[in-house]
Structure 1
Amino acid sequence: MQAPDPTRFILLNTSHPGNVGAAARAMKVMGFSDLVLVAPRDAGVLAHADALAMASGATEVLAGARIVESLAQALDGVTFGCATAMTPRDFGPTTHAPRELFATLGAQAQRVAFVFGSERFGMSNDDVYRCHACLSIPTHPDYGSLNLAQAVQLIAYDWRQALGGFAVAQRTPVVVRADGAAVQGLLEHWQQALTAIGFLDPQAPKKLMPRLNQLFNRAQLTPEEVHILRGIARAMEKRG
């Protein structure tokens, strides 16, 4: 039996179904699936066309999400709750940048929840007080307003990195470099071609060929690139 997702994302009083779908997508790409909505404005938001469209491949996160009436219900089973709120408060949990807190939180075995306020009003003081810490995403001081799904994506990414992250999948074939013999053969061919077009004086070559040798070494040519450059050399010889 698969272990339950140890991370929960809680959205409070959401107004726009599209934001819920986009948040579900943000969660899925970072490997999270436990989504709880607290008293959304639209009771049918999880099946709303805008939510399904914005989920774009993460509809199973919506299908598995729950709707509850209070934050207390949403935090059931959670051992560490993180509020996401920008508004300064004179009382409540301490505020941290996500990576600062996650550096230690990620090593602890507990069920963590990230709580996001409504699009228009954010989180109330009472909701913040229910949490153990407050997260503030470091944004430009002149404009720190993030769309709900953007905030979910940033928190989900940093938290996944703290948990160990995912390996980067190789999207292109491993590049094979041309061997030394191929590069030397190319140099000899270019020397002949440059002589043929009158660019190289074989009686006074100076440092042209050693410089080309260094250029080809820095380029780390592939066998295909050696063939292309040899083709250029053949065309130069015909013009010579």
Structure 2
Amino acid sequence: MKTRFILIQTSHAGNVGAVARAMKVMGFDDLVLVAPRWADVLSRPEAVERASGATGVLEKARVVATLDDALDGVDTLCATAMTPRDFGPPTATPREHLPLLPQRSQGVAFLFGSERYGMRNEDVYRCHVALTIPTAPDYGSLNLAAAVQLIAYEWRQALGGFGVAPSASQPEAADAQALAGMLEHWEQALVDIGFLDPAAPKKLMPRLNRLFNRAQPTPEEIHILRGVAKAMQQVAAKAKP
């Protein structure tokens, strides 16, 4: 689905670069700037540096004079606003509203206002919904690129999301025979170093048995543990008079 991010009267070139990066990691590349502070904002060093590898988004981006010039090919406009506007569109969170859009729209534009003032009322009035990101009640100020990242993520999830690479397969645990042999080795080593009194063993070995059953050591780990037991026995043997 056509997806466009529109920045209105952006004043900081670094934010434009950071927005490009936020878009690219979510698979979006249609960026339009409406009347930014700097006409050459897309090529300014701060923008290129903050894009951090997403310069392709900057190279493809457009700078236009008015919001009307940025709306070609989209039929659904989503404002971003912290507070509802009188006579404005309904307010919703991205998570509750965005999953509804793929069935209703052919092209979506997300609009973001200037860093200092946010969106103008007249621009919000043109939109079909005002998206608000739930934040702490006493501090709701989000950096422009952070807001774009959150919206881009929620929209990507609404479109089906990206797959997650499976983790490496978990190694198989050692069998019960290997575990029992290691515990016998440890029991003897603990006796040799004087930690375990065979005449009054109490519950030490059952507790160790439960611990290693819970840990499910691999054959390689069993080998390490037996090496530790062997080293304890060697030290104990050297210490004998």
- Is TM (by shorter chain) over 0.5? yes
Contact 1:46 1:62 in 2 (8 A): yes
CA apart distance, 1:57: 0.6
Aligned twin of 1:207: 203
- The 1:184–1:110 alpha-carbon spacing in structure 2 relative to 1, beyond 3 Å, is farther
Pick aligned residue for 1:222 from 218, 222, 231: 218
Report the aligned-residue RMSD. Answer: 1.7
CA apart distance, 1:83: 0.1
Structure 2 length as normaliser, TM-score? Answer: 0.91
CA–CA distance in structure 1, aligned partners of residues 67 and 138 of structure 2: 31
CA–CA distance in structure 2, aligned partners of residues 149 and 25 of structure 1: 9
Q: Secondary structure at the match of 1:9?
A: strand
Contact 2:34 2:65 in 1 (8 A): yes
Q: Secondary structure at the match of 1:36?
A: strand
Q: Which runs of 5+ in 2 are unaligned?
A: 237-241
Alignment-mate amino acid for residue 174 of structure 1: S
Q: Secondary structure at the match of 2:78?
A: strand
Aligned twin of 2:229: 233
Asked which structure has the greater CA Rg, the reply is 2
CA–CA distance in structure 2, aligned partners of residues 134 and 196 of structure 1: 73
Paired positions, count = 235
CA apart distance, 1:46: 0.8
Identity %, equivalent residues = 68
Aligned twin of 1:30: 26
Pick aligned residue for 1:173 from 168, 186, 190: 168
Comparing 69-78 and 181-190, the one that deviates more: 181-190
CA apart distance, 1:119: 0.7
Alignment-mate amino acid for residue 10 of structure 2: T
Q: Secondary structure at the match of 2:33?
A: strand
- The 1:186–1:63 alpha-carbon spacing in structure 2 relative to 1, beyond 3 Å, is same
CA–CA distance in structure 2, aligned partners of residues 207 and 82 of structure 1: 65
Q: Does 1:18 align with 2:14?
A: yes
CA–CA distance in structure 2, aligned partners of residues 9 and 220 of structure 1: 50
Contact 1:81 1:131 in 2 (8 A): yes
CA apart distance, 1:203: 4.0
- The 1:192–1:106 alpha-carbon spacing in structure 2 relative to 1, beyond 3 Å, is farther
CA–CA distance in structure 1, aligned partners of residues 47 and 228 of structure 2: 55
Contact 2:84 2:130 in 1 (8 A): no
Contact 1:176 1:223 in 2 (8 A): no
Aligned twin of 2:113: 117
Q: Secondary structure at the match of 2:191?
A: helix
Q: Does 1:8 align with 2:7?
A: no
CA apart distance, 1:90: 1.2
Structure 1 length as normaliser, TM-score? Answer: 0.92
Alignment-mate amino acid for residue 157 of structure 1: Y
